[in-house]
């Protein structure tokens, strides 16, 4: 080949490279920009739901990313499991043991209105670790994010409001992502009850519950379409749930009204679980005798006391669970009128090994391989994954399982 011919080919190749570079510019931050991590939680989205309907956004994530069943911590309740996912601790270790509970040491009840009081929350949630390291974070309704924990909240957060639609939350995610780099959060966490509400009211296998699953799929599609406009920036999207749901036939209700002491106790009935504590302000009650009587007389349930929980549940024998703690068999629930606990047709809170309790884990983005299907893992391991993705030091020194990372 002549010298002139080689020069023409070289110039042509150089021109093609310039055109390609103009057509696909690099992001302003360059190729080394660390990924932004978005975590979206759909309360009560069971792993089995993803295989029972036409769910284009979820199925696309499975095809182009990682999927694994997410095993809840005990008990499989919303507050405990969401806080476990961000601390890497079990409910017995971090202290948010059920959705509401009495603390005998404090002599006080944790209620929904306690969510802004950081003194109830043990452990260090991921946003605190990140903020300490200079990484801005944002949370749109996540257990613990309303409170100062260790004196720190996420840079951006909202107090819980059940009337806020998911479309508003997703619009806010995009506003956060379009902030200038100095103020932009690198970790964004969002909670949605769109599956949980109809699943409780109508049952997990009802048309209404699957309408909720399809709505979750639609909102996930909206978010992914919006993120496509930011394709030049590395963004890892993680979708999780805290637990699944079990059908509870109406005839499977366990009426506790006639079995509870009229005075001297504090009771928390959360359907699948029922906790009883000695009331410090009331007359003394022989709770050991009551526990033994319940073991003989309350059907379709198991009765525990501190020191007697199965070791595998890692409850730390925490007294916040109750001086007497009742766990209904899967598909059964407790019902009381004081405190008021109405019938539901779908429940959770059962042991982690109940198959219907299995939640979801899905992830796509530059950090994850495509088309990977993994075995089940505990949902509190999400904390280790986020520590890795954000490049942080893990305060609990836990080992991260395989998450299909590149």
| pLDDT tens for each residue of 168-192 | 999 999 999 999 999 999 999 999 9
| Token pair in block for residue 276 | 């009883």
Q: Cα-Cα-Cα-Cα dihedral of 378, 187, 231, 26, to 10°?
A: -120
CA count, 13 A, side-chain hemisphere, 63: 6
Strand (E) or helix (H) holding 177 = helix 166-177
Q: Is the pLDDT of residue 37 over 80?
A: yes
How far apart are alpha carbons 226 and 71 in whole angstroms?
Answer: 30
Percent of the chain with pLDDT over 90: 88
CA angle 329, 273, 192 (to 5 degrees): 105
Give the HSE-up count for residue 195: Cα atoms under 13 Å, Cβ half-sphere: 32
Spatial distance between the Cα atoms of 303 and 287, rounded to a whole number of angstroms: 12
Six token digits for residue 4: 């002139």
pLDDT of residue 379: 98
Cβ-based neighbours of 175, under 8 Å, separated by 6 or more: none
pTM over 0.85: yes
- Give the per-residue pLDDT at 26: 36
Please state whether beta strands 359-364 and 235-240 pair in parallel, antiparallel, or not at all (unpaired): antiparallel
The β-bridge partners of 273 are: 327
Q: Is residue 198 within 8 Å of residue 211, measured between CB atoms? A: yes
Query: Does pLDDT of 30 surpass 80?
Result: no
| Segment 234-272, tens digit of pLDDT | 999 999 999 999 999 999 999 999 999 999 999 999 999
pLDDT score at 223: 98
Q: Which of 367, 368, 369, 327 is nearest to 348 (CA)?
A: 327
Mean pLDDT of all residues in 349-365: 98
What pLDDT score does 135 carry? 98
CB-facing half-sphere around the CA of 30: CA atoms within 13 A = 1
**Average pLDDT of the segment spanning 281-302:** 97
Q: Per-residue pLDDT tens for 46-71?
A: 999 999 878 999 999 999 999 999 99
In percent, the amount of the chain with pLDDT more than 70 equals 92
For residue 114, name the pLDDT band (cuts at 50, 70, 90): very high
Measured at the alpha carbon of residue 369, what is the angle toward residues 364 and 370, in degrees to the nearest 5?
A: 75
Q: Averaged over 368-383, what is the pLDDT?
A: 98
Q: How large is the average pLDDT for residues 150-162? A: 97
CA neighbor of 357 nearest in space, from 335, 331, 380, 381 = 331
353 Cβ contact partners less than 8 Å away, ≥ 6 residues apart: 71
- Mean pLDDT across the chain, nearest whole number? 92
Q: In the prediction, which pLDDT does 340 show?
A: 78
Assign 342 a pLDDT band (cuts: 50, 70, 90): confident
- What's the rounded mean pLDDT across residues 308-324? 97
Domains of the chain: residue spans and CATH: 36-247+352-390 (3.40.720.10), 250-343 (3.30.1360.180)
User: What is the Cα–Cα distance from 269 to 203, expressed in whole angstroms?
Assistant: 19
- Give the phi and the psi of residue 212 in degrees, each rounded to 5: -65, -40
């Amino acid at each position: 080949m002549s010298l002139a011919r080689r020069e023409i080919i070289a110039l042509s190749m150089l021109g093609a490279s310039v055109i390609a570079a103009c057509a696909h510019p690099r992001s302003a931050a360059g190729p080394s920009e660390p990924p932004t991590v978005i975590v979206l939680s759909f309360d009560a989205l069971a792993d089995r739901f993803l295989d029972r309907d036409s769910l284009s956004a979820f199925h696309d994530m499975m095809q182009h990313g990682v999927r694994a069943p997410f095993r809840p911590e005990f008990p499989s309740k919303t507050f405990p499991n969401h806080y476990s996912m961000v601390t890497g601790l079990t409910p017995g270790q971090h202290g948010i043991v059920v959705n509401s509970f009495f603390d005998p040491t404090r002599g006080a009840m944790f209620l929904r209105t306690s969510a802004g009081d950081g003194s109830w929350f043990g452990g260090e949630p991921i946003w605190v670790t990140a903020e300490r390291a200079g990484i801005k974070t944002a949370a749109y309704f996540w257990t613990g994010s309303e409170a100062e924990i260790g004196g720190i909240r996420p840079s951006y957060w909202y107090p819980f409001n059940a009337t806020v639609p998911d479309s508003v939350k997703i619009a806010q995610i995009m506003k956060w992502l379009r902030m200038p780099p100095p103020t932009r959060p690198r970790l964004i966490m969002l909670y949605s009850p769109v599956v949980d509400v109809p699943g409780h009211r109508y049952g997990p296998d009802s048309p209404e519950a699957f309408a909720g699953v399809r709505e979750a799929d639609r909102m996930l599609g909206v978010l992914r379409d919006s993120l496509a406009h930011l394709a030049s920036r590395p963004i890892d999207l993680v979708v999780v749930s805290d637990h699944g749901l079990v059908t509870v036939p109406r005839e499977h209700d366990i009426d506790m009204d006639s079995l509870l002491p009229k005075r001297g106790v504090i009771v928390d009935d959360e359907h699948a679980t029922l906790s009883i504590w000695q009331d410090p302000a009331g007359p003394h009650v022989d709770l050991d005798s009551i526990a033994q009587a319940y073991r003989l007389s309350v059907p379709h349930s198991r009765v525990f006391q501190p020191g007697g929980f199965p070791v595998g549940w890692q409850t730390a024998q925490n007294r916040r669970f109750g001086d007497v703690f009742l766990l209904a068999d899967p598909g059964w629930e407790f019902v009381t009128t004081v405190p008021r606990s109405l019938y539901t047709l779908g429940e959770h809170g059962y042991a982690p090994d109940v198959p219907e309790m299995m939640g979801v884990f899905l992830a796509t983005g530059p950090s994850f391989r495509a088309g990977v299907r993994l075995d089940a893992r505990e949902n509190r391991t999400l904390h280790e994954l986020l520590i890795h993705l954000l490049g942080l030091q893990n305060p609990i020194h836990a080992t991260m399982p395989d998450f299909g990372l590149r």
